[in-house]
Structure 1
Amino acid sequence: MFASAAYNRHDQLRGNRLNGVQAYLLWCPRDRQIHWFCLEAGEYPSLPADTEGIIGSRHFPGLWLAPEALLVHELGTVLRGLQQGMATPEH
């Protein structure tokens, strides 16, 4: 991550914590990474992807994201992940 991105991420994290933001996505195009953070015990750990590369929201059941597919513009894969999540009973 570039210095300005790291600085912005730090400011964003502090603001999110102060405002009680439960979850947020961070897309780092230069690093080709997408992180999904979820507030747990005052910290924001990055949610891990499952064996299929899908990250599921803890706050919005059925909201699933395929970050690796999104990074390489495999929008069909991204859409299928979203549709699978929306088809779950939790959604």
Structure 2
Amino acid sequence: MSGIRQIIGVCPQFDILWDALSGEEHLELFASIKGLPLASIKSVAQESLAQVKLTESAKVRARSYSGGMRRRLSVAISHLGDPKLVILDEPTTVTV
């Protein structure tokens, strides 16, 4: 199963974000689940936030994110670890 987690990324239609975690914390959590080296997790999280233009909101709790920000964070999570396959379920859908 860990091998599968390393080569596949998934962005579900309905986000799987926790309101109490920040964008940065989400990326660090999912990076560790994906098995990224501990020494690189912080830098990978910062790079991912920059790629989806959430750097300024890195430490803001997800409960405060707009629908579009939540979607961008979910897309960033799905791309952690540079997977060979990314499954995007309606990536432009914004939930209210």
Per the TM superposition, whether the score is higher than 0.5 is no
Bigger Cα Rg: 1
- Structure with the higher helix share, 1 or 2: 2
- Structure with the higher strand share, 1 or 2: 1
TM-score normalised per structure 2: 0.27
- Highest relative contact order (Cα 8 Å, sep 6+), 1 or 2? 2
